[in-house]
């Protein structure tokens, strides 16, 4: 199985900050990488697919990059609604696997 | 507008069975692969199972293989997850999700339902 490792596990940031989350796969997955946002008590929401493509309706403040085994999610100008947990997920091969999540908290 | 509504969750004893349903609307159900993802209390997301649009391709996590069965009824626009031999570690919120294409490979999450809670306890 492909292991997905995110860093950091949590981070504290202020409104207006730019934050970057890293995701590393245990083997190359080309660009078959998605990012998912989950707010407390809510269902997940898909943000990015194919490592860098935004889902419909997702604001351009979110951006993704990377290929192979190393990926990043960047959020610019952090707003109150962006404080959530973010997961990376590979869909290169079954079983699909998620990273452990990165919780973005208010500083 | 895409809408996914899960149902069928509840309290079940270890060793018992439960069938989850996910009623879909707002899109041509048979044209899209679907999947189940779960989240244990206070934990992260875990992919459980997926099925192609035709139902001909099914995929499972090792943790549920041989105990869970994913099916779909395209005439009813409904996805199912039959869960047998349930264990305490299966306790979780179960989400269904619509994928981006009909096949099961290189397809990604697009829309998620609100989830249904399954509790396995005596």
Q: Which tens digit of pLDDT belongs to each residue from B5-48?
A: 999 999 999 999 999 999 999 999 999 999 999 999 999 999 99
- In chain B, residues with a C-beta closer than 8 Å to the C-beta of A2 are none
pLDDT higher than threshold 90 for residue B96: yes
Please judge whether B45 and A45 are an interchain contact, meaning their C-beta atoms are less than 8 angstroms apart: no
Please judge whether B95 and A96 are an interchain contact, meaning their C-beta atoms are less than 8 angstroms apart: no
Which pLDDT score, from 0 to 100, does residue B93 have? 98
Q: Are B63 and B47 in contact (CB under 8 A)?
A: no
Nearest to A95 among B45, B62, B100 (CB): B62
Q: Does A98 touch chain B (CB under 8 A)?
A: yes
As given in the structure block, the two tokens for residue B91 are 């306790």
Which pLDDT score, from 0 to 100, does residue A34 have? 98
Which pLDDT score, from 0 to 100, does residue B104 have? 86
| Count, residues in chain A | 107
Cis peptide before A90 (omega within 30 of 0): no
Which pLDDT score, from 0 to 100, does residue A106 have? 87
Q: Does A58 touch chain B (CB under 8 A)?
A: no
Please judge whether B95 and A91 are an interchain contact, meaning their C-beta atoms are less than 8 angstroms apart: no
Greatest alpha-carbon span in chain B: 40
Determine phi and psi for B53, rounding to 5 degrees: -60, -35
Please judge whether A46 and B112 are an interchain contact, meaning their C-beta atoms are less than 8 angstroms apart: yes
Q: What gap in Å lies between CA B22 and CA B25, rounded to an integer?
A: 10
Contacts of A41 (CB under 8 A, 6+ apart): none
Best of A44, A47, A54, A87 to disrupt the B interface (most B CBs within 10 Å) is A44
As given in the structure block, the two tokens for residue A16 are 């207006």
* pLDDT tens across the length of chain A (107 residues): 999 999 999 999 999 999 999 999 999 999 999 999 999 999 999 999 999 999 999 999 999 999 999 999 999 999 999 999 999 999 999 999 999 999 999 88
Determine phi and psi for A30, rounding to 5 degrees: 55, -125
Nearest to A95 among B61, B109, B114 (CB): B61
Q: What gap in Å lies between CA B64 and CA A77, rounded to an integer?
A: 41
Q: What gap in Å lies between CA A22 and CA A102, rounded to an integer?
A: 9
What value, to the nearest 5°, has the Cα angle with vertex B29 and ends B28 and B31?
Answer: 75
Identify the three-state secondary structure at position B95: strand
Please judge whether A55 and B47 are an interchain contact, meaning their C-beta atoms are less than 8 angstroms apart: no
Determine phi and psi for A59, rounding to 5 degrees: -65, 155
| Count, residues in chain B | 122
Q: What gap in Å lies between CA A25 and CA B61, rounded to an integer?
A: 18
- B37-74 pLDDT per residue, tens: 999 999 999 999 999 999 999 999 999 999 999 999 99
Nearest to B45 among A49, A87, A92 (CB): A87
Cα–Cα separations (whole angstroms), residue B66 to A38, A79, A85, B84:
30, 44, 32, 9
Nearest to A43 among B50, B95, B106 (CB): B95
Q: Does A36 touch chain B (CB under 8 A)?
A: yes
DSSP 8-state secondary structure symbol assigned to residue B104: S
Q: Is B103 exposed, middle or buried (0-12, 13-18, 19+ CB in 10 A)?
A: middle
Q: Does A46 touch chain B (CB under 8 A)?
A: yes
Q: Does A49 touch chain B (CB under 8 A)?
A: yes
């Amino acid at each position: 199985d492909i292991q997905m490792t995110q860093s950091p596990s949590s981070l504290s940031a202020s409104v207006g900050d730019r934050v970057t989350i890293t995701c590393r796969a245990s083997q190359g997955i080309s660009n078959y990488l998605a990012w998912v946002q989950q707010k407390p008590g809510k269902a997940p929401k898909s943000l990015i697919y194919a490592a860098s493509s935004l889902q419909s309706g997702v604001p351009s403040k979110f951006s993704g990059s990377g290929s192979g085994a190393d990926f990043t999610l960047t959020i610019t100008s952090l707003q109150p609604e962006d404080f959530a947990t973010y997961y990376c997920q590979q869909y290169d091969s079954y079983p699909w696997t998620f990273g452990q999540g990165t919780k973005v908290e208010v500083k | 507008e895409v809408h996914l509504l899960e149902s069928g969750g509840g309290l079940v004893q270890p060793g018992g069975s439960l069938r989850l349903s996910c009623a879909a609307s707002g899109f041509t159900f048979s044209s899209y692969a679907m999947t189940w993802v779960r989240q244990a209390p206070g934990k992260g997301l875990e992919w459980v199972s997926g099925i192609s649009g035709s139902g001909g391709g099914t995929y499972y996590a090792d943790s549920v293989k041989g105990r869970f069965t994913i099916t779909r009824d395209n005439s009813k626009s409904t996805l199912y997850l039959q869960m047998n031999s349930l264990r305490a570690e299966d306790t979780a919120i179960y989400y269904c999700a619509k994928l981006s294409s009909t096949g099961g490979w290189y397809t990604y999450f697009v829309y998620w339902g609100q989830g249904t809670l399954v509790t396995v306890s005596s």
